[in-house]
Amino acid sequence: MTEGKPVVKRIGVLTGGGDCPGLNAVIRAVTKAAINLHGIEVFGIRDAFRGFVEGDGGLLRYGDVSGILTQGGTILGTSNKHNPFRYPAVRRGKKDFRDASGDVLANARRWRLDACVLIGGDGTMNIGTRLAKLGLPVVGVPKTIDNDLAGTDVTFGYDTAVACVTDAIDRIHSTAMSHHRVMVIETMGRYAGWIALKAGVAGGGDVILIPEIPYDLAKVVERVVARSRMGRRFSIVVAAEGARPKRGKMTVERVITDSHDPVRLGGVAAKLARDIEAASGLETRHIVLGHLQRGGTPTAYDRALATRFGHHAVELAAAGRFGRMVCLRGDRVASIPIARAVARLKLVPRSHPLIKTAIAVGTSFGV
């Protein structure tokens, strides 16, 4: 044993934030790699930080993770409403919050955890950074279909979401052609347009609208009208949920006060459909793909990437390299400090090759 290297006998693992294809693949890889390579026990924490605060968890045996590679979702459950530093509580009959980070540390001691693998997006990683400062030995694994974590080239779940949206665009093409309609498809992505951009290019979208490029409605209308006059009697508009007009704001569906990210975007497709139809006279419909993008069987790419991430997370924990997040650099799995990984969102640059390619084949970005 290397001098100064901590002895890791038991690793805790949780999945935080929204569900995502590939979560079970990470859980499986963490459990099997820990047992096979290091003889380390793995302790599953249920429903993200709710379980960590309330003491809800149990050991994961080898058989518990067999057969879950292809399953969507997470066998541990997840939550985006249980930030231990702002934990939901009731005081004098009213909804309130409290700092429950001490409960997390107490349960980590009670469960005899020598390390914790936190699988999640920016919210989970930010919480992990704060817990690490309090002494919890953590390793992060990046997860989000939005692909907006700056610390890694790609997050698992993104490829599956893009495949889902592309399939939807393919299906919507036929009904758009049959009824000679403009169809507006709303994708997830929060403040980043990665899903809409890649799926829009793959699905042959005529207009792609992303948060990073505020659109001019007149340009969108000009594009669909021009197609109609050329005999193209349908158009496909792919809009990220965070798409916004020039000098306008993103469309907010609702605000959830007890969530790490309280703003829930949504409704831009319905608004666009109304505006396009009113300005063009062309029959326009919209569809919101919503949580379809987060469910189902992960693609082969996401299964392999999630498995690699889980294995690397175990190696970091076994080596005592805490406070780091697994990441992908090119085709190489590496790691960086968690704090640096969540310092900013990874947004689509205007110089991105996919944008240039889309413009080259005639796609409009509403500008």
Q: What backbone phi and psi angles, to 5 degrees, belong to 87? A: -85, 135
Alpha carbons 191 and 83: distance in angstroms, whole number: 21
Q: Specify the amino acid at residue 146.
A: D
Cβ neighbours, 10 Å, residue 39: 8
Write down the residue that tokens 């390793």 correspond to. 139
Contacts of 95 (CB under 8 A, 6+ apart): 88, 89, 258
Pairing of strands 57-60, 10-15: unpaired
Q: In residues, how long is the chain?
A: 367
Pairwise CA distance, residues 324 & 309, whole Å = 12
Question: Which class for 12: exposed (0-12), middle (13-18), buried (19 or more C-beta within 10 A)?
Answer: buried
Residue of 146, 148, 159, 206 with catalytic role:
146
Amino acid at the residue 226 = A
| 146 is an active site residue | yes
Asked if 114 contacts 8 with a C-beta cutoff of 8 angstroms, the reply is: yes
Q: Which two tokens stand for residue 363?
A: 């796609």
Q: Which amino acid is at 229?
A: R
Give the residue among 4, 261, 6 at the shortest CA–CA distance from 124: 261
Structure tokens at 68: 């879950």
C-alpha span between 287 and 118 (Å, rounded): 34
Q: Which residues have a catalytic role annotated?
A: 146
